[in-house]
Each structure stands twice: as C-alpha cells, then as structure tokens.
Amino acid sequence: MTAANEPTAAVVLRNLVVALFCTTGHETLAQTARLLTSEVVTNVYRHTATRVVHVEVTVDERQTWVYVFDDKPRYRPMPPEVAEVADGEGGLGLFVVEQCADAWGITHFGGQVPTSKAVWFRLVQGGKGAL
C-alpha cells in the first residue's frame, strides 16, 4: 500500500491496514495496528522529505508484521522513552510502538550506503497488542 507523504497519509494507510487485519482474522489486533501504523506513518511525514510512504503487511495464523518504508535512510536513534516536548504534542510515537508491539525495529536497505529504511512492528494474537 502506498500513499503520498502528506498529512492524510496516516489516515489512508491505517484504514487500509485495519481492513486487511479484519479480513484476515486478526480483528483483535486491528485497533492496535491502527494506532501503531498511524504513529509510524506520522513520523515519516514529520521527519522525512520522502515523496511516498509504502506499507507492507505480512500475516499468518498467529501474528502479523507491518513495515512502513520511506526512501530517507537517515535515522536519529532515540530510545523509545517519553520525550519532553515543548508544545505538548509529539515525541511519543516510538514509545507507543514499544509499549504496544510484541517486537519492533528499524531495517536499512541498500548496503553500506543505505537508500531506504523500514520501521516495522510485529503483533501476536494474545500478545501485548491484542484487545
């Protein structure tokens, strides 16, 4: 699934992810997937100048993986802790992912000089993100 990196990207992509989860028997993970997809896609919008955001979802009987790709491999590693933000908005995306996902990470692509990256998370039936 691909969307232009615009303010509406998070809404469009999270709704597609939820529809996929609900049609593949992962309804108990759908709302957590909605939240985490929204957080990660919003980070792409806020912190990169990439033109498009691409989301891939892999599902099996017990678990799901969501990968959010952008073509800007630069990433400032920051721990997924509650960040102090002057205006009271933002800074919680990776903290939310850390708290709700069964696993998550960042994968760079393109060899020694990365050309893109994916922030991914895994949700497991009966795991942290199940409702």
pLDDT of residue 74: 64
> Taking the complete model, does pTM exceed 0.75, yes or no?
yes
Which pLDDT does position 98 carry in this prediction? 94
CATH 3.30.565.10 fits 2-124, yes or no: yes
For the chain, give me the number of helices (H) and strands (E)? Answer: 3, 5
Residues 6+ apart with CB under 8 A from 131: 28, 29, 31, 32
Q: State the sign of the Cα–Cα–Cα–Cα dihedral 86, 38, 93, 4.
A: negative
List pLDDT tens digits, range 51-75. 999 999 999 999 999 999 998 766 5
Q: What is the DSSP letter of 77?
A: -
Structure tokens at 96: 């939310």
H runs (alpha helix) in the chain: 9-23, 27-47, 93-100
